[in-house]
Chain A
Amino acid sequence: MNGTVKYDLVIVGGGSAGLAAAVAAYDSGIRSILVLEKDKYLGGILLQCIHNGFGLHEFKEEMAGPEYAQRFIDQVKERGIECKTNAMVLDITPDRKVHYSSLEDGYVVVEAGAVICSTGCSERTRGAINIPGTRPSGILTAGLAQRYLNIEGYMVGKRVFILGSGDIGLIMARRMTLEGAKVLGVAELMPYSNGLNRNIVQCLHDYNIPLYLHHTVKEIIGKDHIEKVVICPVDDNLKFIEGQDMTFEVDTLLLSVGLLPNNPLLEKIGVRMHPKTKGPVVNEDLETSIPGIFACGNSLHVHDLVDFVSAEGRLAGKNAARFLNGGLGDDTAVIDIAPLNGIGYVLPSLTHLDSIDDTVLKFRVKQPYNNVYINIKVNGQSVKRLKKPYLLPAEMENIPLKGLELQAFAGDKMEMTVEVEES
């Protein structure tokens, strides 16, 4: 089928965000939809997340990752939405031509009315964090080890140390323990964990796996394969504290040191990128700086719960349909949105005066807080103030702006800020 074809909507990535987007676009009246997935199966990263706990918000039950994915695959199939697997998207142009290649179809250019990018995220690797020492085998990211074990059926090692307390690392600490490995510990550079509490408890405490907060890897020892890893505490400036080295004999070092939204195709065409999230800058409709190109899911910003990814995918699908059905109508006054004190990032980066009721702020705090207020201001004047008993960097916060009265500010240039206010 080499050549050019036309679809109203092309969705790049058939994981949790893309599938939810496809369903929502269909339910908003769009019939000409194409989902392109590079893997052999739909479902994305959920397929290797065999642990349970997915779906509490979406389906009011807890299920394993592949089961959660299947719910959305079924919804897509019930609607007869066209999906191509083994289809790698190579280019997205500013005028919304999507180039993909697959064994079945060859090289195809799709002229799309709208494009949704739901391309997920990638793990940061050893290169991203500059670990000193030799370069032996046996060092890999936690998600890669997860894929080897849960999909391919290979154990990557028997004596394991984990650097970084991200959720995938914690999940893999338990998973490898259950399969007979000895997990010697988890080191976290920060004084608090980046993982969810329930994973700290059920993946580490349950199996007596120590968590070394404010520690990191000082050296890796091993010629061909990793033999030892040296862990050292750090001070408040994240410098090694001398004389407190701990050496562990290991055959595996797993890295769980953060995820980065995966957007090479958007970066290539100059879509404006967000300095903090590393995903694209979007407005309240999840539209990027190029009209008709939308982003959602972990390629927009890294989520902690897949349920929120699905919800975001739906929003992108609904808005892509609005775009196709006559436009988003974002012609009222622009409100820029920026993070202030204590906030790592906030999405969307802008909204419009008439869309306030449909705008939901999503943000993360930079550090844990107890008994504080979230203060939302417009041009320095507080418009919403919420008491929060606790805030954690591992938990994304959602604040709907529904009902906020901002007409008084109309006419001026409007800037909304979000900040933590300690009492």
Chain B
Amino acid sequence: MKELICIVCPRGCHISVDENMNISGNTCPRGKEYAINEMTHPTRMITSTVVIDGMELKRLPVMTSAPIPKDRIFDVMEEINKARAKAPVKIKDVIIKDVLGLGVDIVATRNIS
């Protein structure tokens, strides 16, 4: 039995999922879908910063271009921490292409000139 708090809306239903993937506690179909995703292939967006060689700012904020598998978060963080960017950078510029072969890029979320 696994207990989840649904985050699809602010209501925050407490959802239970048993060994046979029977789902209870949700009050809408979106909650059921959320619980199935969380149990089968949970994913997360990751945001962090990379070092930037520039005039004024020392850190460039970055984000994954799409959600990554939850169990790869710390692997991706390691790659982000190895990266360096060089100014000028624009929002959505790719800082790491196809990180760890996950099919997701690490992109800038701030313009730095």
Contact = CB atoms under 8 A, between A and B. Distances in A.
Contacts, number: 77
A20 B11 CA distance: 29
Given A64-B63, A178-B73, A395 B10 contact: yes
B59 A206 contact: no
B47 A51 contact: yes
Interface in B3-27: 4-5, 7, 10-12, 27
A198 interface: yes
A197 B15 CA distance: 13
A290 interface: no
Interface string A396-419: 000000000000000000000000
A176 to B, nearest CB: 11
Contacts of B59: 150-153
A200 interface: yes
B110 interface: yes
Contacts of A221: none
B72 interface: no
A149 B58 CA distance: 10
B10 A64 contact: no
A382 interface: no
A236 to B, nearest CB: 23
Contacts of B110: 47, 64, 66-67, 70
Contacts of A70: 91, 110-111
A151 to B, nearest CB: 6
Chain B contact residues (Cβ within 8 angstroms of A): what range? 20 to 34
A202 B44 contact: yes
B5 A52 contact: no
Interface string B40-52: 0000111111010
Given A67-B91, A178-B46, A201 B7 contact: yes
B83 interface: no
B57 interface: yes
Interface in A376-403: 389-390, 392, 394-395
Contact of A197 (B5, B56, B109): B5
Contacts of B58: 151-153
A47 B61 CA distance: 9
Contacts of A205: 5
A154 B113 CA distance: 22
A138 B58 CA distance: 23
A62 B65 CA distance: 11
B10 A50 contact: no
A265 interface: no
Contacts of A206: 44, 70
Interface residues of A, number: 32
Given A201-B5, A390-B11, A64 B44 contact: no
Which of B5, B59, B61 is the most central at the interface, judged by chain A CB atoms within 10 Å of its CB?
A: B61
B87 interface: no
Contacts of B51: 153
B77 interface: yes
A161 to B, nearest CB: 22
A394 B7 CA distance: 14
Given A66-B110, A150-B61, A50 B47 contact: yes
A150 B57 CA distance: 10
A45 B72 CA distance: 30
Nearest to A62: B45
Interface string B79-113: 00100000000010000000000000000011100
Contacts of B57: 151
A305 to B, nearest CB: 10
Which of B48, B73, B109 is the most central at the interface, judged by chain A CB atoms within 10 Å of its CB?
A: B109
B10 A392 contact: yes
Nearest to B4: A201
A149 B59 CA distance: 9
A201 B42 CA distance: 13
Given A50-B109, A178-B48, A178-B73, A66 B10 contact: no
A395 B9 CA distance: 11
Interface in A33-67: 40, 47, 50-52, 62-67
27 contacts: A47-B110, A52-B47, A52-B63, A63-B109, A64-B47, A64-B61, A64-B109, A66-B91, A66-B110, A67-B110, A70-B111, A150-B49, A150-B59, A150-B61, A152-B58, A152-B59, A153-B59, A178-B48, A178-B74, A197-B5, A197-B7, A202-B7, A206-B44, A389-B11, A390-B11, A390-B12, A394-B10
Report, nearest first, the 3 A-B pairs whose CB atoms are least far apart.
Answer: A64-B109, A66-B110, A50-B61
Interface of A: 40, 47, 50-52, 62-67, 70, 149-153, 178-179, 196-198, 200-202, 205-206, 389-390, 392, 394-395
Given A201-B5, A205-B5, A389-B11, 14 more contacts: A50-B61, A50-B63, A52-B47, A64-B47, A64-B110, A65-B109, A67-B91, A150-B49, A152-B58, A178-B77, A179-B77, A197-B12, A200-B5, A206-B44
